[in-house]
């Protein structure tokens, strides 16, 4: 019965102090074996997308809990862009969870009880100075990501699959919905995120150590950096999860 706890049962709110999101294009046939039942890959010109969202979150707590009792922490989310057709026939775009990282043991424990997000503990350093943001992650004694963003340089990476910022914004993440699969009931769990404003900036990045793709089932040679976006100071909340049994 533990799966019943993992349905994101509480509405949650937080304040996103800063967020850096990297989107990597990957041939669709490489990512499709990772998809949960009921989901399909959200693609662009034959490519799917593996996204890494790095977030400094402040005062995260259930919506009914006072702000002062919230928890501040770092979060890295590893996701795929996907689509889901609801039982009512509505088509939704969202993200499938592959794994998550946080720098707080409490967040890891609680998150793994109440969600399917598969948290592991990481060492995180997310610093912003002048027009530069740097993120370094370490897990089990090794650097798993090292990236630097120039916040005043709106540019796509060399060799990006996108030809313009407008194209890239279709896959900038996070998406309104997060999807996961509940195998105990053959159901899709979806969680809707709500924000009042949304205007991330395209930024130029240097990736010194790429994400540990293989840790999440993606061959290291397949991904190619497609875009990077940065934003600051955003109130955010998640609704309670909704479960739909697949046909």
- pLDDT tens per residue, range 64-108: 888 888 889 999 999 999 999 999 999 999 999 999 999 999 999
- Cα 54–137–145 angle (5° rounding)? 80
Band (175; pLDDT cuts 50, 70, 90): confident
Average pLDDT of span 173-178: 81
Residue 210 has pLDDT above 80, yes or no: yes
pLDDT computed for residue 77 by the predictor: 94
Residue 4, Cα to own-chain centre: how many angstroms? 23
- pLDDT tens per residue, range 116-145: 889 999 999 999 998 999 999 999 889 999
Residue 235, Cα to own-chain centre: how many angstroms? 16
pLDDT computed for residue 199 by the predictor: 83
- Residues contacting residue 247 through CB under 8 Å, at least 6 positions apart: 87
Neighbouring-strand partners of residue 208: none
| Residue that has been written with the tokens 């400094």 in this structure | 56
pTM: 0.94
Residue 218 has pLDDT above 80, yes or no: yes
Q: Is 124 helix (H, G, I), strand (E, B) or coil?
A: strand
DSSP string, 18-53: EEEEEEEEEEHHHHGGGPPTTEEE--BTTEEEEEEE
Residue 181 has pLDDT above 90, yes or no: yes
């Amino acid at each position: 019965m533990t799966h019943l706890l993992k349905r994101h049962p509480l509405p949650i709110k937080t304040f996103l102090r800063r967020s850096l999101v990297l989107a990597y294009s990957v041939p669709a046939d490489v990512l499709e074996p990772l998809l949960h039942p009921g989901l399909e890959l959200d693609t662009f010109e034959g490519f799917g997308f593996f996204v890494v969202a790095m977030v400094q979150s402040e005062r995260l707590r259930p919506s009914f809990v006072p702000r002062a009792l919230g928890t501040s922490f770092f979060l890295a989310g590893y996701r795929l862009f996907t689509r889901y057709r609801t039982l009512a026939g509505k088509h939704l775009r969202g993200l499938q969870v592959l794994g998550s990282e946080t720098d707080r043991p409490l967040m890891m424990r609680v998150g793994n009880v109440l969600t399917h997000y598969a948290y592991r503990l990481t060492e995180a350093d997310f610093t912003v100075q002048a027009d530069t943001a740097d993120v370094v992650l370490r897990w089990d004694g090794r650097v798993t990501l090292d990236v630097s963003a120039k916040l005043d340089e709106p540019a796509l990476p060399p060799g990006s699959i996108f030809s313009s910022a407008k194209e890239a914004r279709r896959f900038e993440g996070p998406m309104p919905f997060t999807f996961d699969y509940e195998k105990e009931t053959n159901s899709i769990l979806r969680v809707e995120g709500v924000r009042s404003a949304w205007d991330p900036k395209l930024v130029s990045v240097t990736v010194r150590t790429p994400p540990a793709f293989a840790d999440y089932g993606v061959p290291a040679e397949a991904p190619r950096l497609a875009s990077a976006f940065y934003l600051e100071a955003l109130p955010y909340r998640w609704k309670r999860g909704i479960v739909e049994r697949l046909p």
